[in-house]
Structure 1
């Protein structure tokens, strides 16, 4: 691995000084189709099979992450360069929406995708997953990832090839990518860590608070759980992962898809424990990769129910690394998963403002 990193240092000379120096690409230039032959090659099913005899969604998250990186390398590939000077890493998962509850373990899966928007150093990748039934591929999910390009040592941003839409439909897709970027900026700006909640949000929080007061007293400290409700604090599940070299990427850090799989599996267990029945994943939103996870790290995962409505359960998973030498904790990722349960679930109620 050390030798490989030394070789990558020499690729610095291949980096573009300006984006304008790079040839423009079309959406079809990065388009890829990949078949996962679960039906035609039964020997690979074991890796994807869960206890309910369907496909493990955590494995699908790993595959989507790998495909997203490969699509970006295809977009930025230079004909005369045997090796890419770019280090492409996942910045965030914007959204994954599923239209099927069950992914079958004995039918082939097809992944398709391409770069759909480009900034200076970042790329939005749109991917689709389909499964073969009765000779036709039917949609299973749509996913949007944002990847960033870095220098060969993954230390600084690097320019990527611009993207040129070729049709009105591609213009629309590209504009949607720009809107997605602006939405993410607005969402980040509106964080409670940066600004106060809106009047509507304050009223909602106050109503929840009043609904948990004990009417027999006149004290704000006397709280009472409403019927068919659960305190948010009581919904937590935690996990620990020792980060072994087996799960590393070419930069000697933990592969992002592995982190997503572990977070999803803890989130699924939390939804299962809370709802009392098998949950099905509906959507994945706002997965943020804030810091890389180094080999040998102790990765602490904490999941909790943060919202419920009828059969729906929203889970937030927070991951952090613990440095045993400094005894410091650093947040690495935040994940949001929405599940649907077979039965209506209790209402989750926050006990504190945080």
Structure 2
């Protein structure tokens, strides 16, 4: 009985501490800039950070990152990248005259993660570096690089680009960030690349299959898939047969559920974005693994959009779908939504896109409905973007 009372008291104290911290943050609103012109320009060096993960020199840390197959859990790396992107953004907006930052910086988008080496060793130190490469009025692009110490030197493992947004202390409205002043030709090029990335994302949004019809070439692809599944014996639009070495799209799904506990919250009492990415990746990997019949390797992560925050106590529903395959490649889309058991409402929070490669050719994925055909084309677009990058 005594232990139970102590536990309940601890929970109440933690909740009270969090409420007090949030109340204190509200008072920081008066420190927000009225316009971006009121803020001093920063350089890319101002936000540069280097962080070491001593997996090789600290074996006790290794357990958190270790997989059953003696590799590193990539979901944990996603959590670390998300945390680093936040720290980089706060470094860019740092004001030495203020004891605390009035900004709430959250992840808006994972633009791209490209794997340069597909094996991450669990017994070698890891180094993360990164800095701000582009800013808008209220948004920040942070580029990060991860390398691992092997044979006396650090070798590149991945490159990542995150887009962060600044909000007011209550995380209710946008807030201005410091402008960026590039120094030299190399930094000018990075800034231009950031602007190009923004234009590319806007173009992809305008061309989304949720907004406009497929292109003429894409319509031909869908019709060809349809013709290949018609039963020639019945000559009926409704009679469909599965071609050899193929799987219906509806049979290539995997689902999961997470109860969102306070342990995974950020300072705004919402679920940490890195946790969401880890859970989505692990489900997507399992989906690709069961579909391909072997342990897949990650090629790329792209276009992870954070549409809505996930509240503490939410029921988080994750649905993974193999939506496109080509040779040994598997394109997986993971959709996450929160379910309110009281109102019975579902709200989409995130959409994740992962590209995996198998060690053998995988079956063709075949859509059966128009909606599945749109998923197929969307998966094909993401795969082509990964290949062309």
Q: Which residue of 1 aligns with 2:120?
A: 103
Q: Which residue of 1 aligns with 2:67?
A: 50
1:64-103 to 2 correspondences below 5 Å: 64-103=81-120
Q: Which residue of 2 aligns with 1:134?
A: 151
Alignment match of 2:29 (pick from 2, 12, 19) = 12
1:318-337 to 2 correspondences below 5 Å: 318-337=335-354
Q: Which residue of 1 aligns with 2:387?
A: none
1:1-354 to 2 correspondences below 5 Å: 1-354=18-371
1:238-294: CA deviation from partner (whole Å, max 9, x where unpaired): 000000000000000000000000000000000000000111111001100000000
Q: Give the TM-score normalised by the residue count of structure 2.
A: 0.90
Counterpart Cα distance in 1 of 2:201 and 2:236: 40
Counterpart Cα distance in 2 of 1:99 and 1:311: 18
Counterpart Cα distance in 1 of 2:303 and 2:243: 30
Counterpart Cα distance in 2 of 1:169 and 1:274: 43
Counterpart of 1:71 in 2: which secondary structure? helix
Counterpart Cα distance in 2 of 1:211 and 1:166: 56
Q: Which sections of structure 1, spanning at least 5 residues, go unmatched?
A: none
Counterpart Cα distance in 2 of 1:334 and 1:279: 20
Counterpart of 1:66 in 2: which secondary structure? helix
1:304-334: CA deviation from partner (whole Å, max 9, x where unpaired): 1001111110100000000011000000000
Counterpart Cα distance in 2 of 1:200 and 1:319: 30
Counterpart Cα distance in 2 of 1:292 and 1:329: 13
CA deviation after TM superposition for structure 1 residue 217, in Å = 2.0
Counterpart Cα distance in 1 of 2:114 and 2:233: 46
Counterpart of 1:187 in 2: which secondary structure? helix
1:175-234: CA deviation from partner (whole Å, max 9, x where unpaired): 110010011111111112211111111111111111111111221111111110000100
Larger CA deviation: 314-323 vs 189-198? 189-198
Counterpart Cα distance in 2 of 1:190 and 1:285: 17
RMSD: 0.6
More helix by share: 2
Aligned residue-pair number: 354
Counterpart Cα distance in 2 of 1:69 and 1:99: 23
Counterpart Cα distance in 1 of 2:152 and 2:50: 17
1:93-113: CA deviation from partner (whole Å, max 9, x where unpaired): 000000112100000000000
